[in-house]
Amino acid sequence: MQFRTTSAARTRAVAAALEPLLEPGDVVLLSGDLGAGKTVFTQGLAAALGVVEQVTSPTFTLAQSFEGRLRLHHLDVYRLENLGEVLDLDLPELLDDDAVVCVEWGEVVIPELPRDFLHLRIRLADPDEGVDVRIFDIELVGQSWRSRALAVETACISGAEAAPC
Ligand SMILES: Nc1ncnc2c1ncn2[C@@H]1O[C@H](COP(=O)(O)OP(=O)(O)OP(=O)(O)O)[C@@H](O)[C@H]1O
Ligand SMILES: [Mg+2]
């Protein structure tokens, strides 16, 4: 499944449209280059969950937690050298918290995931198409996400076409 957004606001709108589908314990992995929009997506998700604090890229901490409709654990594992450091994150504890776990640069943790996850791969479109265009490839891993495929697709399309704000 693939879609595009043409602005940061629309990427936030996609995240907001996906938020009602999130259940306790869900894991969202975000991959893509620097500046692809992983944090922007997480900000949209957090706002829709009712988080009032500003979500930023955690520079000195690897994980930040926020309270909302569901608790949100935001991890950015870009700076991690190896899997050992991921394990030091107490990942199992975060996964076992009935929260939503959102991981930027998430591929490194895939071997440690005991469960299904939603994987969003974001990349910049060719500059000819517009500098603000982002291409999202969505992979639904596991039965729990596959069973939500239609709802996910509908949410992504509606968010990507949301009125610019
Ligand atoms: N369609 C779009 N979707 C998301 N962000 C966009 C879009 N168009 C432009 N942008 C801009 O691209 C930048 C995305 O930055 P963001 O911090 O979210 O990237 P990131 O993937 O988290 O990078 P990093 O790997 O450094 O954490 C922001 O400045 C945002 O305004
Ligand atoms: Mg980021």
Q: CATH code at 48?
A: 3.40.50.300
Q: Domain range spanning residue 73?
A: 2-160
Ligand 1 within 6 A of 57 CB?
A: yes
* DSSP state at residue 23: -
Ligand 1 within 6 A of 150 CB?
A: no
Which of 5, 10, 40 is the best mutation target for the ligand 1 pocket, counting ligand atoms within 8 Å of the beta carbon and taking the most? Answer: 40
Query: Is residue 131 assigned to a domain?
Result: yes
Other C-beta atoms closer than 10 Å to the C-beta of 35 total 11
Quote the number of domains for the chain: 1
Secondary structure (3-state) at 153: helix
Query: Is residue 165 assigned to a domain?
Result: no
pLDDT of residue 164: 66
Residue 51 in tokens: 């988080």
pLDDT of residue 106: 82
Q: Write the residue with the smallest CA distance to atom 31 of ligand 1.
A: 8
**Strand ranges (E), 12-163:** 27-32, 63-66, 72-76, 100-104, 117-124, 134-141
Ligand 1 within 6 A of 132 CB?
A: yes
**Strand ranges (E), the chain:** 2-5, 27-32, 63-66, 72-76, 100-104, 117-124, 134-141
For the segment 68-120, what is each residue's pLDDT rounded down to a tens digit?
999 999 998 876 666 677 777 788 899 999 999 999 988 888 888 877 999 99
